[in-house]
A and B are shown apart, each in its own frame.
Chain A
Amino acid sequence: MPLPKDPTLIYTSKAEVARAPVIRSLLSRADEPLFVVGPRAVEDDEWRDRVAQLIRRFRAGAVCTAPYGGDDLGRKMGMVELATLLQRDAPVLGSNPDVVVLTGSRTDVTDRVLQSLRHARPDLVKISLNPEYCPSADYSLPTMDMDDFLRELEELLKA
């Protein structure tokens, strides 16, 4: 059963639980997908490696919101700076994304940002790619342990 990270919050609608095939299909159909990569993904080698592959696999734009020495996770930008741009549909990296995937940020940050986008940008498809279910997204993986989560990312990479 998908449980929200924080049971005290009131949501008027909840994210659809989606597994790799659905998310793959959403990303394949997107014109301008954008990956937003947070600190948890950066600090976990396996998570980071799979996300870097996903960015390439789906020819997506990417923003890394965490301190990171590498250059394979896109441009570095603070999460709130990025969220402010997305909220008003301003260009990010020169384009206006139609699908945004949040992965690796703290669960509360993911939730706050996606909820703000749910109101400000109902047109934007919002996906949470994290080991915890995030009700504020349009599509979210269910809560699962880390091994299952990494397997789900592997699944997503499949053609």
Chain B
Amino acid sequence: MARFKLDFEGIKIEIGSVESFEPEGEGPHPCPSLSDLKDWDRRLFSRYRIAAFPVCDMCCLCTFGRCNLAEGRRGACGIDLRANVARMTTIKTCIGAACHTSHARHLIEYILENVGDVEIDLGPEIDVKMPIFETLLGFEPETISDLEKGLEYIERELTKILASAHMGQESDPHDYESKALHAGMLDNLALELADVAQIVAFDMPKGESPLVEFGPFAADDSKPCILLIGHNVAPGTEVLDYLEERGLDEEVEVLGICCTAWDASRVEKRAKVIGPLSRQLHYVRMGIADVIILDEQCVRADIVEEAKEVGSRVITTRDVLMGGLRDVTDEPADKIVEKMASGEWMAVYIEDLEKAAKVAVEVALRVHEERKKEVPRPDPDEIKGHAERCLECGDCERVCPNDLPIVEAMRKAREGDLEDLAELFYRCVGCARCESECPARIPVMRIIEDAWRLNVRRERYKVRTGRGPIKDVEIRQVGGPIVMGDIPGVVAFVACPNYPDDIREIGRMVEELLERNYIVLTSGCTAMALGYYTDEEGRTLYEKYEDRFDAGCLVNTGSCISNAHILGACIKIAAIFAKKPLKGNFKEIADYIINRIGACGVLWGAMSQKALAISTGFTRWGIPIVYGPAGLNYQTLYIGDLDGDWTVYDARTGEKREEHCPIHLKYAAEDWREALVQAVKLCIRPNDTPQGRQTKLQNYVELYKKFYNELPPDLPLYVRDENDIPLTLKDEIMEYLEEVGWEPREPISEPTLLEENARG
């Protein structure tokens, strides 16, 4: 509907967008719908096979069921297992995208109400401010209120996708996966809306960031402590503002777990990041917090009960996570403070964030001294006592997602040796299923954490807080080397901490790539996991490597919504280096990325639906993803099919060639070394110059030989002619290629998957 406008002298009334959403942008596909990009998705699926790994044989979504779909059966509605698995992937991706969209909507409405319709200005070094928005919406937003167009677009499309998951809608797995890709792409837009809005409204870093303290012992527990858990920084900003207004900045510690920690530290360097999601239960049980403020996403459902155990007060603040608590939003703040300080109300829901902040600070100040006396300290005799009750039934190991050797550690603890138990802390994902399962009711996870606390020094680490976007000047400097392949790749280590083994393995992977001149980006809980990896002098990788978007540098973009800037950097290379028009031009940009930008995402501990949505969106833009083994539980992967259609057109001549890269789009590795080798391989692109391909192959071959002690068997796919072979490995590789009957082929000069873009 066109805007309705009455303009009298001195009075202006404007009503817009009251009836329905209408795309206003420019370009071939502004606000692309499901069907607009279906041909792109089909193109991807013609080379990447959808490999299904079902978790459950049943469908329980309607009262026809539950239906057994095992071994070729169909459900009462006619659906088969492959389609149903893809349907579940679509639903899960929608959940993730809805989370980020709801988060973005809350932030944008909160900002419009409390800060105003701020101009979107990311500083003098960033002209391409919202590359995802521009590519999808077809215009450049100027102020925060323009972002609402993006929200409207996402909400319209997400509703349609969810509708497709109803019984009697889609039946083909490819159509469902296409919808998952669409939901993922929408999720990526939501990330950008939320992060850019908060950067401009709360004056967060714009392309550079300071080092901040990290770890549970970064907190000064002699002071009252407020712990923020979740992802939405709005309540945190209110706390920081209240402290500043009252001159209490130095009196109260503000700590964070999960992404809200990064964002609070982006608002105010003084806010401390104490740990990733996997440490949530551990650190709440440590009793650090006098008051815990929960916002949204990835908060454990038992956190209120656990907090109560150690006397921490809890305030929930968002209507998506009310925690079953008493709604005291309309009660006077002084009354709430009184009741919470006395312990009559241990946990409440306060939707008014200003009031929640005031209550949190005042309660923390009141209860701190008393609580300090109550917080239990680890006791070796108590741990030994618990270990003596162990029946050695092994149920804890059976339910442990990481097969941790708990029984053996218990045996040793019984003898007074707590070292094994303490070491399990680094491999524990914090799920506490061991405790739920234990027939002897041993608090297994708690004693692992207590043993660690007794063994560990009170270490503090330095991490670099989120810097948000990549600057245009950085893109200008590295765009060419990335597209030519001289910089071997951009690898992003992102997402949750559901790691299959030691949390420090992330550090090993990242350091190897930094030493090999890759640009490494990180965000979210994985950026925190990097903080545990130190050298002999106790320095973290953030201290050792520069914070620039350049070869051999490490960049932390921030929280999980800051993943937008990782994808944004790839889009900006197309816009700034290759001068591709962004507006409404998704297919051409994705085609550019998949053929020319050697980027790859590693989600080693991906766990949440949001991580699925982010990564699925990335794949549609042409960025391959490597999950850890838990990625198989997302149920569908996109694995390269050598019998598929690997045709790449030369845009200049129209000639057709076959190029098998990137060979996979969604992969899951069992072991960190496999993940590392895959990440390096998935940075190979058809556009690589011979010199660039040499650099990439040198890394691939060296790492493969290091871990597998032989040449990679798929080398013939990546060596186009002799000029691609790294000089130091030439004899060895040539001998192998001759042995397997390799034939040289000409490199392609302007690769594209879009036949319509091939001139010829």
Interface residues of A (CB under 8 A from B): 3, 5-7, 9-13, 38-39, 65-71, 75-76, 78-81, 83-84, 87-88, 90, 105-109, 112-113, 115-116, 118-120, 122, 132, 143
Contact = CB atoms under 8 A, between A and B. Distances in A.
Interface string B186-220: 00000000000000000000000000000000000
A64 B350 CA distance: 55
Interface stretch (B54-62, B286-294, B337-345): B54-62
A85 to B, nearest CB: 9
Contacts of B630: 108
Contact of B81 (A9, A78, A81, A119): A119
A39 B54 contact: no
A120 to B, nearest CB: 8
Contact of A12 (B57, B403, B708, B713): B57
A32 B276 CA distance: 47
Nearest to B671: A39
Nearest first, the 4 closest Cβ-Cβ pairs linking A and B are: A69-B709, A67-B707, A112-B632, A67-B673
Contact of B54 (A7, A13, A84, A119): A119
Nearest to A75: B713
A68 B707 CA distance: 6
Contact of A108 (B81, B401, B671): B401
Interface in B608-658: 629-630, 632-633, 637, 639, 641, 643
B72 A80 contact: no
B58 A10 contact: yes
A105 B632 contact: no
B669 interface: yes
Contacts, number: 110
A80 B671 contact: no
B260 interface: no
B382 interface: no
B441 to A, nearest CB: 18
Contacts of B667: 78, 80
Nearest to B405: A146
A109 B398 contact: no
Contacts of A118: 70-71
Interface residues of B, number: 43
A113 B668 CA distance: 12
Nearest to B667: A80
Contacts of B632: 80, 108-109, 112-113
Contact of B398 (A69, A81, A143): A143
Contact of B637 (A3, A7, A66, A80): A80
B60 to A, nearest CB: 9
A66 B671 contact: yes
B39 interface: no
15 contacts: A5-B398, A65-B674, A66-B674, A76-B710, A80-B632, A81-B639, A107-B403, A109-B629, A109-B670, A115-B57, A116-B51, A116-B53, A116-B54, A118-B71, A120-B52
Contact of B708 (A69, A79, A112): A69
B68 interface: yes
B710 A83 contact: no
A90 B678 CA distance: 22
Interface of B: 49, 51-58, 68-72, 81-82, 394, 398-399, 401, 403, 500, 629-630, 632-633, 637, 639, 641, 643, 667-671, 673-674, 678, 707-710, 713
Nearest to A38: B670
Given A10-B56, A84-B639, A106-B629, A78 B710 contact: no
B401 A79 contact: no
B708 A76 contact: yes
Main secondary structure of the interface of B (DSSP, over half): mixed
A108 B635 CA distance: 12
B59 to A, nearest CB: 11
A80 B51 contact: yes
B53 A83 contact: yes
Contacts of B54: 115-116, 119
Nearest to A118: B71
B670 A105 contact: yes
B55 A9 contact: yes
A72 to B, nearest CB: 12
B70 to A, nearest CB: 5
B671 A67 contact: yes
Contacts of B641: 84
A118 B54 CA distance: 10
Contact of A122 (B71, B637, B671): B71
A78 B631 CA distance: 14
Nearest to B69: A119
Given A11-B57, A106-B629, 6 more contacts: A79-B670, A83-B53, A84-B637, A112-B53, A115-B55, A119-B81
A76 B713 contact: yes
A75 B673 CA distance: 17
Nearest to A69: B709
Contacts of A66: 670-671, 674
B339 to A, nearest CB: 39
Contacts of B708: 67-69, 76
A52 to B, nearest CB: 15
A116 B398 CA distance: 21
Nearest to A109: B629
Contacts of A7: 398-399
Contacts of B70: 12-13, 118-119
Contacts of B668: 79-80
A113 B55 CA distance: 10
A118 B670 CA distance: 21
Contacts of A90: 643
Nearest to B641: A84
Contacts of B82: 119
Given A9-B56, A87-B51, A115-B54, A78 B674 contact: yes
A87 B82 CA distance: 12
Contacts of B633: 108, 112
Nearest to B632: A112
Nearest to A5: B398
